[in-house]
Amino acid sequence: MTDTVISSATREVVIGFERPFVMIGERINPTGRKMLAEEMRSGDFSRVEADALAQVAAGAHMLDVNAGVPLADEPALLATAVKLVQSVTDVPLSIDSSVIEALEAGVDAYVGKPLINSVTGEPEVMERVLPLVARAGAAVVAISNDETGISEDPDVRFEVARRIVNAAADFGIPSHDVVVDPLVMPIGAMKTAGRQVFQLVRRLRDELGVNTTCGASNVSFGLPNRNSITGTFLSMAIGAGLTSAIMNPLHAEVKTAVMAGDVLAGNDENCAAWISEHRDRGAPGAVGLPAAAAGTGTGERPRRRGGRRARVG
């Protein structure tokens, strides 16, 4: 079993096989959010604070923090955002930037063991990011593209991931501290995007023994009713072995699909999280077996095929 432990000063989150799926809140990111970008550039972090609190209240286990504001001092912004978020919540953080100086500033400001997001397969990127990961004793997101771009061939993306895992080992970073992003493409533009990710996640788990994550909302980009696509994708990906995702926990439909995927994958022990989230405490079944376990919710017990009643208990 592979466990990736991420921590703040007072809380640990474990990403791992056969463990509950880890939801990493995506909202603290100015990309595509003009108002947030303008506020951060001007030194107003009130929306960052509100987004942090709202995502944790909605069930996020971790938060991704990005400060990529064009023409701004990204290292200073990221350090400020990290300190602020850690002052209002104790969930661990993913420190997110493509700028090494910003990653360094964010890591220096952080208290605990962060997830550094991210490193790619380009040799020069690995040579810059992986020493920082090693010095910080952090974990890292490994994105499976390199200097050739994002391959449409999942076998090529797998080999890029293997290369990053091997390079990390050369810097003393164990494979359990490498969380691979197999790269989710928009399903509207590539009809095999879902199948490719499911295939890659299984191989990454079975052959490399690493945990996985992704930017979940990418899959539904450009489509109507995006939350249904994203939620269904995540529940299927959990079945394939995906262990975490950067996502929006404020979308109830997506969160519900994640929790259902955990139940059906056997990662929610005794369905405890599902029951806690969804049970009507005044409804039949609120004491002892929940209604869903005691029957079908329509007054009948579950039936075997052929109409024979199934026993419960």
**Do residues 169 and 302 share a domain?**
no
**Do residues 184 and 214 share a domain?**
yes
**Do residues 72 and 193 share a domain?**
yes
**Do residues 240 and 293 share a domain?**
no
DSSP per residue over 32-85, as a string?
Answer: T-HHHHHHHHTT--HHHHHHHHHHHHTT-SEEEEE---TTS-HHHHHHHHHHHH
What is the reported pTM? 0.90
Please report, as a single letter, which amino acid is at residue 218: N
**Do residues 95 and 188 share a domain?**
yes
pLDDT, greater one: 293 or 45: 45
pLDDT, greater one: 116 or 301: 116
- Report the distance separating Cα 28 and Cα 88, nearest Å: 14
CB 255 within 8 Å of CB 59: yes
Would 42 be classed as within a structural domain?
yes
**Do residues 166 and 211 share a domain?**
yes
**Do residues 294 and 192 share a domain?**
no
Range(s) of the domain holding residue 287: 279-313
**Do residues 291 and 262 share a domain?**
no
**Do residues 250 and 312 share a domain?**
no
Q: Total structural domains in the chain? A: 2
- Report the distance separating Cα 7 and Cα 124, nearest Å: 28
The per-residue pLDDT for 285 is 43
Would 259 be classed as within a structural domain?
yes
**Do residues 38 and 153 share a domain?**
yes
- Report the distance separating Cα 251 and Cα 234, nearest Å: 13
Would 273 be classed as within a structural domain?
no
**Do residues 107 and 189 share a domain?**
yes
The per-residue pLDDT for 161 is 98
pLDDT class of 305 with cuts at 50, 70, 90: very low
The terminus-to-terminus CA distance of the chain in angstroms comes to: 31
Task: Looking at the chain, list the stretches that DSSP marks H as alpha helix, in order from N- to C-terminal side.
Answer: 34-41, 46-57, 74-88, 100-109, 123-136, 154-170, 193-203, 226-240, 252-264, 272-278, 291-294
Would 114 be classed as within a structural domain?
yes
Q: Which residue has the tokens 């100015």?
A: 30
CA triple 243-246-248, angle to 5 deg: 120
pLDDT digits (tens, 9 = 90+) for 133-168: 999 999 999 999 999 999 999 999 999 999 999 999
The per-residue pLDDT for 279 is 84
**Do residues 176 and 110 share a domain?**
yes
Instruction: Output the six-digit token pair for 229.
Output: 């696509």
pLDDT exceeds 50 at position 297: no
pLDDT digits (tens, 9 = 90+) for 253-287: 999 999 999 999 999 999 999 999 998 655 444 44
Instruction: Output the six-digit token pair for 104.
Output: 């360094």
- Report the distance separating Cα 234 and Cα 192, nearest Å: 15
- Report the distance separating Cα 79 and Cα 90, nearest Å: 16
Would 86 be classed as within a structural domain?
yes
pLDDT digits (tens, 9 = 90+) for 84-142: 999 999 999 999 999 999 999 999 999 999 999 999 999 999 999 999 999 999 999 99
Would 107 be classed as within a structural domain?
yes
Classify strands 211-212 and 178-181 as parallel, antiparallel or unpaired: parallel
pLDDT exceeds 80 at position 298: no
Counts of helices then strands in the chain (DSSP H, E): 11, 10
